[in-house]
Amino acid sequence: MKLNGYYKYFLLAAAICFAAACGKNKSTPQSPPPPEPVGATEYINPVFKPILADPTVIKDPASDYFYAYGTEDYWEVDKKNHLVAIVRSKDLVNWLYIGDAFTVKPAWKSSGGIWAPDIALVNGKYHLYYSYSTWGDTNPGVGLAVAASPSGPFADAGKLFLSSEIGVPNSIDPFYYEDGGKKYLFWGSYSNAATQGTYGVELADDGKSVKDMSRKFKIAAGDFEGVNLFKKGKYYYFFGSKNNCCDGAASIYQVRVGRSENLEGPYLDKAGKDIAVPGNGTLILQRNDQYAGPGHNARLITDKNGSDWMLYHAMDVKNAMIGTVNQRALMLDKVNWDTDGWPLVHNGYPSFSKQTKPVF
């Protein structure tokens, strides 16, 4: 509760600062208006500060709480390095920090950060798939931690694979998906290597190991990371992030999409181009004057009214970094679908004025 109170104070102070002196940037169509009072059915981004990068989210059927998890990061607010922070909410808008998923680093790798986790309910247990890597790591990997409750404690179940073992450079950013009674893991991140890209592979029935590492399949090129899949109608939609995630106010991270009638692809963009070829993918979310580097979204959540919502991270350009730490706050925006079934997040940019909340 102490931290939650700080965030309320921080947001109030930021609003006062903005109204008084901070809104002096050159005006453009994407510049923010003065802050407005927020009603009970409204919200204004970000929905959680200071940081919840590379978010993943799940709804606990036992409590109806949503739980979100983020990449390991240092928080200036409490002078602590958080090993996968966990936050909780009833409405995707009001989040409360409740603890970290890990108390110590897993032992199967000698060094690295716990990045880009993905939470899933598998056979009645909460599986947290995670990346273990450093910047420029030549042999990162993917691991698994398991808990009986979404709030933890999570017990590390060890390594699923290293890059060298599965033959995919920069093997990070896992994403779990079930389809047709089968369990899959998708993963991959940036690399210029010919074998790089986003891949999928079938998992064992318990979700704790790969059935056959040689039977992986590629669905996207090596200029994507942060894979996320969403089934709507007859299509599987691939959401992935491109460009620099972590260059502070200069970050041009963005989300692009492709779709397929087959889980294993091919995934085509709106122009009919295969996203397994570099340079393709339909742009659905990019930076504006207020927020830099929007991307690495969680799986989409559908509310009571049938509207789809995306949680992702972005940085306020006026406070994008503290020291060397990118302040990638948690953002929420509605996903709109056109008549041809293509998504667009908000109006293609992070929202900065009051929005109508999801309904649960």
CATH (domain of 181): 2.115.10.20
- pLDDT confidence tier of residue 191, bands split at 50, 70 and 90: confident
Question: What are 197's strand-pairing partners?
Answer: none
Sign of CA dihedral 157, 162, 166, 169: positive
Q: What is the residue range of 73's domain?
A: 2-356
- pLDDT confidence tier of residue 13, bands split at 50, 70 and 90: very low
Order of strands, edge to edge, in the sheet holding 225-232?
Answer: 225-232, 235-242, 254-260, 282-285
Report pLDDT digits (tens) over 203-239: 999 999 999 999 999 999 999 999 999 999 999 999 9
Mean pLDDT, residues 40-69 taken together: 97
Domain count within the chain? 1
- CA gap 160, 166 in Å, rounded: 10
CB 154 within 8 A of CB 161: no
CA of 230: how far to CAs of 126, 265, 269, 301, 335, in Å? 20, 13, 15, 10, 12
Question: What are 99's strand-pairing partners?
Answer: 86
Q: What is the pTM of this model?
A: 0.89
Residue 259: the pLDDT is 98
Give the mean pLDDT of the chain: 91
